[in-house]
Amino acid sequence: SNNEAAVIKTGAGDMGSEFWPDVAPKTVENFKTLAKKGFYDGTAFHRIIKGFMIQGGDPLTKDEAQQNRWGTGDPGYKIKAEFNERSHKRGVISMARSQDPDSAGSQFFICHGDPTFLDRQYTAFGKLIKGDDVLEKLATCETARQDRQARPVKRQGVESVKIVDRATIKYPRRAGSPATQHGGRGTPHPPYFFHGCGNPPGHSHGARGPWLYPGPVPGKGRPIASTQPATGRRDGAPPA
């Protein structure tokens, strides 16, 4: 039903999101199903890049002892991509994935800037109708800048995600001008799943497997890598 919405309760406050079942019906249904089962309760936003997005929805973030695996979790299955014409603007909610278009599961991200280069490559399925101020607090928290995952220094937890009647959510949402993309230091990594050794795709790898990236840097035509020996870059910017 398009009369339903999500309330994402965090330590920084509540965010309310409408859904777009007209363009991403399966994705919306998957998110609702997981939320109603309490799947997202107790998770955290594990990857935050100011001016780009905040990423969460990984069940492994419920366990601090699993930090080295954060970003790899899913519900045990994948869903088909539903790429559409809705643009990735501030407040839009979309599904994180690997290079495989049909690899999304539970991880999602909320745009802080206007990363329109993700359009038609990631499944946008809703948008905030309340809590832009909360998004701002989360997206501007302190992060470990040397960390290739842009992990928050202080845990940014999700207490719960509830599916409610949309009419119960008050509408006003601050327009907010787009923040500077990644502090002006270049195009950041799109939201991704990863596992393994930290090398770009296509390399020869061992048992742990390669990192999984969704695609090339816009206009560069080559894979994004968070750490490359040739550049030593560890800040999430594309290689020079």
Closest of 197, 192, 235 to residue 57, by C-alpha = 192
Q: What is the dihedral of CA 170, 41, 149, 237, to 10 degrees?
A: -20
Average pLDDT over residues 20-28: 98
Model pLDDT for residues 60-80, shown as the tens digit of each residue: 999 999 999 999 999 999 999
Please classify residue 78 by burial: count the beta carbons closer than 10 Å to its beta carbon, then call 0-12 exposed, 13-18 middle and 19+ buried.
middle
Question: Cβ distance 14 to 68 under 8 Å?
Answer: no
> How far is it, in rounded angstroms, from Cα 174 to Cα 166?
18
Residue 208, judged by CB atoms within 10 A of its CB (0-12, 13-18, 19+), counts as exposed
Q: Give the residue from 186, 192, 185, 180 showing the smallest Cα distance to 47.
A: 192
Average pLDDT of the segment spanning 89-96: 98
Write down the pLDDT at residue 144: 85
Phi/psi for 158 (5° steps) reads -105, 110
Output the average pLDDT for the chain: 78
Which of 60, 79, 80, 87 shows the shortest CA–CA distance to 71? Answer: 60
Q: How is 48-90 classified by DSSP, letter by letter?
A: EETTTEEEE--GGGG-GGGGGGTT---SSS-B-----S----T
- What is the pLDDT at residue 41? 98
d(CA 142, CA 150): 9
122 or 195, which is more confident? 122
Q: How confident is the model at residue 172 (pLDDT cuts 50, 70, 90)?
A: low
